[in-house]
Structure 1
């Protein structure tokens, strides 16, 4: 999740809850629906839901004086109340590129990095020559 250009750390369950709430913006989403969405294969207590809603509110930057994103419908559930803008991302019809099988066991990137192609090429070249490579950096 991003806030402007900054990455916001959010747990998987909190993200599941956020997704469920945003999909039904302005509607009441019951506690039972949210628990089924975030814990589909597990039986949990209502307190688990409260903990993850609190984590979600913290990740969204809610505070006593800040904008509200999620409201509590006491005894019933939660509602996402902030403005939501939807953007349709066009699907390109270009055929997938075929590459030689990589000589490392790193997972494929889930998102395409922007503006780092030179650095990535340098790291890939180093990976083919060394057994262990540590990459450390800081956010800009």
Structure 2
């Protein structure tokens, strides 16, 4: 039994699926941009574009699109066998920032809201610290 031949076949199939996943993400991004455009148009027509909740919802949608872009970059980097650490950390920073921006303390009780907000703050600080370390570490470290 030639294990290398079977392994090579599975690696080829995996690479093909990674490319398919990348194209799916491109499609999702295009749909998201189209949906964002429709949302802006609808808000402009109804006059709700200046309302705070509508603007926060639009920012939430834009940040979600940025997360899709970061996931796409992760898939592409992984398929190219490049490091994905920086990309994953940036996606995490965007995701946490998104949660902070749309955070509604009224959804929680008073103590719970404080705990959730503190958790987001700690998570954001850790991710920013990790991003700083990754960006200041020489490339030879494999990141």
Q: TM-score range with shorter-chain normalisation?
A: under 0.3
TM-score, normalised with respect to structure 2 = 0.22
The structure richer in strand per residue is: 1
The structure richer in helix per residue is: 2
TM-score, normalised with respect to structure 1 = 0.22
